[in-house]
Structure 1
Amino acid sequence: MRRTPAAVAAGALLAACASLLTPASAAQAAQGVQDARVVQAAPAATAGFHVQDGRLLDANGKDFVLRGVNHAHAWYPGRTDQALKDIKAKGANSVRVVLSTGDQWTKNDTADVAHVVDECKKNRLVCVLEAHDTTGYGEAGAAVGLDKAVDYWLSVKGALVGQEKYVLVNIGNEPYGNTNYAAWTGDTKNAIGRLRDGGLDHTLMVDAPNWGQDWSFTMRDNAAGVFAADPDKNTVFDIHMYGVYDTPAEVSDYLNRFTKAKLPIVVGEFGDMHSDGNPDEGAIMATAQAQGIGYLGWSWSGNGGGVEYLDLVRGFDPNQLSDWGKRLFDGANGIKATAKEASVFANPGDGGGSDGACTVTYRLSDWGDSFNADITVRNATRQAVDGWTLDFAFPGQQKIRSVWNARATQDGARVHVTPESWTRTIPADGSVSFGLNGSSTGSNAAPSAFSLNGKACTTA
């Protein structure tokens, strides 16, 4: 649905369109996706998520079903680090993160996207990144087309390449409102082609038109052709279920047509009520669970403009679950009961780290009021670490001035280090090194404890 930071763009515009968002009849539905199955060749070895036989598999070839929530990072960037921790603590295995291309809101640049990805990995959450500025294109005046979304993804490519095990790229949120939505098919094919030509090998997610709800069945009836147009055959379809889907029959009919045709489908947004009607969240969750379909509830917190009831927690406080939050997390077919963590996070050296799997060497050159530290991180596993974070705390009054071959942030004594693009991979049984310069007051000593991707390292 339409969203802005304060009003979530849901009020008057939704009311104006409510008469158009009517459930389709059974007769219309009968003319939908053809029953013929899409023939998909088994993919070769892959570096990341991939689609096979209508299912989403992770890099280990294990079935992965999204069970998570949406978080509006573009509007609440200062809330994201804590929100991801809290979302994981509630049992989610994934998070769909709102980003801005810069066309409607402040652009989330490469460094910011890289930070979001790092935080997702740190919390063992699969990251679905979506560009929100396309919402309602053709009807919402400020919205931009999918071509602009592609430009954005290519501009932040540096934060995405190498993250195929952990990141799905949701090209554009709810492209097309209820005007000119027939252009969705051609525009989506073109967007997929440009991203593949631009070097993005991630699983791509494509949203439906009609504000994501596809009441016209444009996505449903053209999904097979769009999937076939992806040279990687690695595209997932995303339906948003609000007022159009207010009966079990409508929910099951729509989702059944995709699963029967062996086309991958997820419910990327849904709620327990909305201004355009009252979706049947029980049917959505039950059908998704029965068919192994992913879902992500809208949204963690921060909704406004009359749709505050869509907040899963109030005021970003994980201890203040709304009724909707209680239903999604704790109810029948909910996140706590059904979410399973992606298998890539269980492998030593594969983004999640492992006790005893890393060794840190900290070499200090101290000149009284200033110092240099040369730091080497060794990966003691048989598997490369693709993307990493190193955390430690200074034992005294040290302050970082500059860093080379990595990036670092400091909060009091605590230091959080992330790699540059050229140091992001720690080879199997190999190492990476970086350095920092700082000032110090009083005694200066090496930190006593380090953690790599949240797991303790030994020191040498």
Structure 2
Amino acid sequence: MKRRLATIAAVLVTLTASVLTFVAPAYAATGLHVSGRNIVEANGSNFIMRGINHMHTWYAGQTGSFADMKAAGANTVRVVLSGGRWTANTAADVTNVINLCKANRLICVLENHDTTGYGEDSAAYSLDQAVDYWVGLKSVLTGQENHVVINIGNEPIGNTNAGQWTAATVAAIQKMRSNGFEHLLMVDGPNWGQDWQYTMRDNAQTVLDADPLDNTVLSIHMYAVFNTAASIRNYLDVFQNNNWPVVIGEFGWQFAPGEVDDQTLMAEAQARGIGYLGWSWAGNTDPILDMTNGFDAASLTTWGERIVNGPNGLKATSREATIFGGVQPSSPAPSSPTPSSPSPSPSTPTGACTATYTITGQWQGGFQGDVKITAGSAAIRNWTVTWTYANGQTVANAWGATVTSSGTTVTARNAAWNGTLGAGASTNFGFLGSWTGTNGVPTVTCAAA
């Protein structure tokens, strides 16, 4: 009996030790990590990414953009890097990028762009090669777990054999962990990031289970595949219902029929508490995806206005990481001057503000417009802009202002967040409109209180 009791006692001790062993969290003791479907900081505070993509590897001299993106309301910047497909970003350069993020109170998502379209683009690198790049940077990444997320490879599989994504992603995660990385890892979907064949969606649990630290977040890139509210909601529902962590790592805006429904996307991200990172600050071959004109923070494009000042945009929803203090995003003066706008119509001064109407894009039957409001020599609390169309144009929808029409007269009133302007300060709102025959630029008036 004593022997049997001793055996039982030994078993209980072993079981107790096992329980104690597994109580400890799998993730690193410090740093950003996954908890359920949320990203949290080391202190347990939820962190929801509200950020911008920046094409650093091709525009390494645009270091002022980090401060500008912060001023636009971002709490995160996703930084494009290359390990050799383009000019390689060295350890010294990556260190400088991390320091720029930290100095501007931004969480830094570092991504290797070399993998873009692997299997379809012959120049693309494999995910295994991408991991080799990160291993080469380990000395400058270790210790940055509170501030840095590693996005192993951008859009790592094209449309050719998208099914290879699962095994390649599992192997990449495990290789990162076997090399001692404890960072929050981000993995993009196949199909150039858009996962239209649902390979990532259908194999998400397999990929997440492959991480021994349970510290991986999935990333979907939403462009033309997600051109309706239903397509966005249906895709995100699967992740939410399965309690899988996901962020929208890239997306553009609905600049033409059939493109991404950016307004629904941002609203759904806000409602679900998931992160989004818009593409991109500037420098695109197709400038329709630029948020600024020529990296000029004082000259937001229509897309820039939508994501910066829109109802679910950066300034309305972004919250700074608590490691920086967790304060609301500030709006310091941009770092670069305002260039002249194409085809502007200056307002007739009325009261204490002026406004400028600009056609920022036009196609058969439709156009995008932008109106810039500037306070006079004294601060204002509210503004109203009016104009009258002479050529039959109409406004279909708007962001950054409440816009109404009465016949040919259009009236725009400030939103709740952009009515107060300091002396000489400016804000913008944008809209989509229709036209037939002629799309002339009207004269606008601005009145303020």
Q: Same fold (TM over 0.5)?
A: yes
**The residue matched to 1:301 in structure 2 has which SS?**
coil
Q: How high is the TM-score relative to the length of structure 1?
A: 0.65
* Residues 27, 214 of structure 2: 8 Å contact kept: no
Give 2:238's match in structure 1, choosing from 254, 257, 263.
Answer: 257
Once residues 56 and 276 of structure 1 are traced to their aligned partners in structure 2, the CA distance between those partners, rounded to angstroms, is: 34
Match of 1:325 in 2: 304
Give the Cα–Cα distance (whole angstroms) in 1 for the partners of residues 317 and 237 of structure 2: 20
For 2:41, which of 50, 58, 63 is the aligned residue? 58
Q: 1:77 to 1:267 in 2, by over 3 A?
A: same
How is 1:265-414 mapped onto 2 (pairs within 5 angstroms)? 265-273=246-254, 277-304=258-285, 307-346=286-325
**Which residue pairs with 2:78 in the alignment?**
96
Question: Secondary structure of 1:184's partner?
Answer: helix
Decide whether aligned partners of structure 1 residues 234 and 44 sit closer, same or farther in structure 2, where only a CA change above 3 A counts: closer
* Superposed CA offset, 1:282-328 (max 9, x none): 11101000000100000000011xx2110000100001100000000
User: Map of 1:58-457 to 2, 5 A cutoff?
Assistant: 58-79=41-62, 81-102=63-84, 104-273=85-254, 277-304=258-285, 307-346=286-325
Any idea what the Cα deviations from partners look like across 1:84-132, whole Å, max 9, x if unmatched?
A: 0000011110000000011x10111111111100110000000000000
Equivalent AA in structure 2 for residue 246 of structure 1:
N
Q: Higher relative contact order at CA 8 Å, sep ≥6: structure 1 or structure 2?
A: 1
Cα pair 1:243 1:274 within 8 Å, conserved: no
Q: 1:344 to 1:177 in 2, by over 3 A?
A: same
Cα distance 1:172–1:120, how it changes in 2: closer, same or farther (>3 A)?
A: same
| RMSD of equivalent CA atoms | 1.6
CA drift of 1:273 comes to: 3.7
Q: Secondary structure at the match of 1:178?
A: coil
- In structure 2, distance between residues paired with 1:185 and 1:277: 29
Contact 1:42 1:52 in 2 (8 A): no
* Contact 1:242/1:276 (<8 A) preserved: no
> Structure 1 CA distance, aligned partners of 2:181 and 2:220?
23
Q: How many percent of aligned residue pairs carry the same amino acid?
A: 54
Deviation of residue 158 (structure 1)? 1.2
- Paired residues, what number? 304
Superposed displacement of residue 46, structure 1:
2.1
Question: Partners of 1:340 and 1:43 in 2: how far apart?
Answer: 27
Shift of 1:277: 3.8
1:277/1:234 CA distance change after superposition, 3 Å: same
Give deviations 1:254-291, integer Å, cap 9, x for gaps: 11111111110000100114799411001110100000
Equivalents in 2 of 1:113, 1:71: separation in Å? 14
Q: SS state of the match for residue 61, structure 1?
A: coil
**Higher Rg:** 2
Residues 209-257 of structure 1, C-alpha deviations (whole Å, 9 max, x = no match): 0000000000000011110110000000000000000011110111111
Letter in 1 for 2:131: V
Deviation of 1:59 (Å): 1.5
Paired amino acid for 2:68: D
Q: CA offset at residue 43 of structure 1? A: 4.7
TM superposition outliers: structure 1 runs of 4+ over 3 Å: 40-45, 273-277
Q: CA deviation at 1:162?
A: 0.2
**Structure 2 SS opposite 1:74:** helix
Counterparts of 1:293 and 1:187, CA distance in 2? 25
The DSSP-based 3-state class of the residue aligned with 1:220 is helix
In 2, Cα distance between the equivalents of 1:214 and 1:91?
Answer: 29
d(CA) in 2 for partners of 1:157 and 1:41? Answer: 25
